[in-house]
A and B are shown apart, each in its own frame.
Chain A
Amino acid sequence: QKEVEQNSGPLSVPEGAIASLNCTYSDRVSQSFFWYRQYSGKSPELIMSIYSNGDKEDGRFTAQLNKASQYVSLLIRDSQPSDSATYLCAVTAGNMLTFGGGTRLMVKP
Chain B
Amino acid sequence: GAGVSQTPSNKVTEKGKYVELRCDPISGHTALYWYRQSLGQGPEFLIYFQGTGAADDSGLPNDRFFAVRPEGSVSTLKIQRTERGDSAVYLCASSLGYNQPQHFGDGTRLSIL
Looking at the assembled complex, report how far the CB atom of B42 sits from the nearest CB atom of chain A, in whole angstroms.
Answer: 3
CA distance A79 to B44 in the complex (A): 29
Residues of B bordering A, CB below 8 Å: 31, 33, 35, 40-45, 48, 50, 55-56, 59, 91, 93, 98-99, 101-107
Residues of A within 8 A of B31 (CB): 95
Known: A46-B102, A95-B99. 20 other contacts (CB 8 A): A4-B42, A31-B99, A34-B101, A34-B102, A36-B104, A43-B104, A43-B107, A44-B43, A44-B91, A45-B104, A90-B42, A94-B98, A95-B31, A95-B50, A95-B55, A97-B43, A97-B45, A98-B45, A100-B42, A102-B42
Within 8 A of B (CB), among A66-109: 88, 90, 92, 94-102
B56 & A96 in contact (Cβ 8 Å cutoff): yes
> Number of A residues contacting the other chain (C-beta, 8 Å)?
23
Residues of A bordering B, CB below 8 Å: 4, 31-32, 34, 36, 42-46, 49, 88, 90, 92, 94-102
Given A43-B105, A44-B104, check contact A99 B43 (CB 8 Å). yes
Chain B residue at minimum C-beta to C-beta distance from A2: B45
Residues of A within 8 A of B41 (CB): 101-102
The 6 closest A-B pairs by CB, nearest first: A99-B42, A96-B45, A43-B104, A95-B48, A44-B104, A43-B106
